[in-house]
Amino acid sequence: AIRHYAPSEDCLAGKTILVTGAGAGIGRIAALTYARYGATVLLLGRTSSKLEQVYDEIERAGGPQPAILPMDLEHAPYDEMQQLHNLIYKEFGHLDGILHNAGILGDLTPLEMYDVTTFTKVMHVNATATFMLTQALLPLLKAADHGSIVFTSSSVGTHPRAFWGAYALSKQAVEGMSDIFTQETQNTTSLRFNCINPGGTRTNMRAHAFPGEDPMSLKTPEDIMSGYVCLMSDDSINVRGQVVALQPKD
């Protein structure tokens, strides 16, 4: 049902939603789409010039004024994330959702020869920083009427696959994190946690992972946005602890 969700025009009106990795790929389209459905979008990413372009696009389209939050998830210390919590509280008063979308692929190689430095970096950006940011922003999200945290997994996060190394393990960690947060909070807060598995989608990351593939054979980020909107909207308040796969193309 989530894949075939038909959002109403104002289904995200009044919500403040943070999107990580909002400057490119799926995150960029998610940010533009959330704004189109009425959300104030907080654009988090490591390359300010890309975030500025998304900011301008939202403004041009007449969406609610977004904000740019430059942060490199590989290096940002925990207290920078706590400062972000305080800044969001001061400037916006509330936070209704996070789309944890930023991610890196790392190497596609057997674990036996996987570079340890790359392993640590992939685990940190994809899993540890996702945990840190979630924990730091949790007070604001728990205070929201119907807060929604959406993690981004992958097929290899559900079923590990040879040669996918740290990427697969980091996505397994993300799925486990969503499950544990769900169990630990479901009786005490309306805040919900879910994962999206976008499935093969036409982006730079996908092109790096499958260099021989024809990008035109893949669905685009735009094609999968109904699932992204649904999980942020109040139409999904009873969806908790799920991994929502947006594959196959349909």
Does 26 bind ligand NDP (CB under 6 A)? Our answer is yes
Q: Strand (E) positions, the chain?
A: 16-20, 40-45, 67-70, 97-100, 148-152, 192-197, 243-245
The least CB distance from residue 50 to ligand NDP, in Å, is 5
**Phi, psi at residue 86, to the nearest 5°?**
-65, -35
Active-site residue (options: 37, 114, 167, 228):
167
Q: Which of 205, 220, 223, 243 binds ligand NDP (CB under 6 A)?
A: 205
Residue of minimal Cβ distance to ligand NDP: 25
Dihedral through CA 89, CA 147, CA 1, CA 26, nearest 10? 30
Helices then strands, each counted (H, E), the chain = 9, 7
Residues 209-248 that bind ligand NDP (CB under 6 A): none
Residues 54-113 that bind ligand NDP (CB under 6 A): 72-74, 101-104
Give the distance from CA 16 to its chain's centroid. Answer: 14
Give the residue with the Cβ less far from ligand NDP, 94 or 115.
115
Known active-site residue 89? no
Count, residues near ligand NDP per rule CB under 6 A = 27
**Distance (Å, whole) CA 219 – CA 3:** 13
Residues near ligand NDP (CB under 6 A) are 21, 23-27, 45-47, 50, 72-74, 101-104, 125, 152, 154, 198, 200-201, 203-206
